[in-house]
């Protein structure tokens, strides 16, 4: 089934990196201490909700849906990957311009690691989008 897709090893490595990252992100969302957020401040409360609940649900949905769409439709997985890449890039920009000013994250541990490897994850998503778009494949 995987050979039928005719994708490179680099695509599968990129996919594995993204899955590992996403699983660590969901774990980080679930284990973030409540003391990081200032619930009395409405901006902090909204940022906490946006960060924790909305993103965790979306990331979990993507973790479940991506392999299903990958093995069902080449056309839709390309669009799904483009949309996912655009969303991740938009979040990266939003976090750097807005969210990091509102929320102080722990200065060590998993959160720092995830922030450091985020550009690598974006590069992997861009490669996956590139390969899905330009890779020639035989229709069966």
pLDDT tens-digit readout, 50-70: 677 788 889 999 999 999 999
CB-CB contact of 69 with 76 (8 Å): yes
- Asked whether the predicted pLDDT for residue 136 surpasses 90, the reply is no
Stated pTM of the model: 0.81
CB-CB contact of 124 with 83 (8 Å): no
Distance CA 11, CA 68 (A): 16
Query: First and final CA of the chain: distance in angstroms?
Result: 12
Q: What pLDDT band is residue 42 in, cutting at 50, 70 and 90?
A: confident
Percent of the chain with pLDDT over 90: 41
Region at 6 (left for phi over 0; alpha for psi -120 to 50; beta for the rest): left
As a whole number, mean pLDDT of residues 21-34 equals 82
- Asked whether the predicted pLDDT for residue 140 surpasses 50, the reply is no
Per domain, the residue ranges of the chain are: 7-31+49-134
pLDDT recorded at residue 82: 94
Alpha carbons within 13 angstroms on the beta-carbon side of residue 138 total 4
3-state secondary structure at position 40: coil
Phi, psi of 137 (to 5 degrees): -145, 155
- Asked whether the predicted pLDDT for residue 33 surpasses 80, the reply is no
pLDDT recorded at residue 98: 72
**Residues 26-46 as b or e (16 or more Cβ within 10 Å = b):** bebbeebeeeebeeeeeeeee
């Amino acid at each position: 089934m995987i050979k039928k897709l005719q994708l490179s090893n680099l695509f599968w490595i990129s996919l594995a990196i993204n899955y590992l990252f996403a699983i660590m992100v969901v774990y980080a969302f679930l284990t973030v201490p409540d003391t990081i957020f200032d619930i009395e401040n409405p901006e902090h409360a909204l940022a906490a909700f946006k960060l924790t609940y909305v993103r965790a649900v979306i990331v979990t949905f993507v973790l479940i849906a991506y392999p299903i769409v990958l093995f069902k439709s080449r056309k839709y997985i390309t669009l799904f990957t483009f949309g996912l890449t655009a969303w991740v890039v938009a979040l990266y920009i939003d976090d750097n311009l807005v969210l990091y000013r509102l929320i102080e994250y722990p200065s060590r541990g998993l959160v720092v690691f995830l922030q450091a490897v985020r550009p690598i994850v974006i590069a992997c998503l861009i490669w996956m989008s590139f390969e899905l778009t330009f890779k020639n494949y035989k229709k069966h």
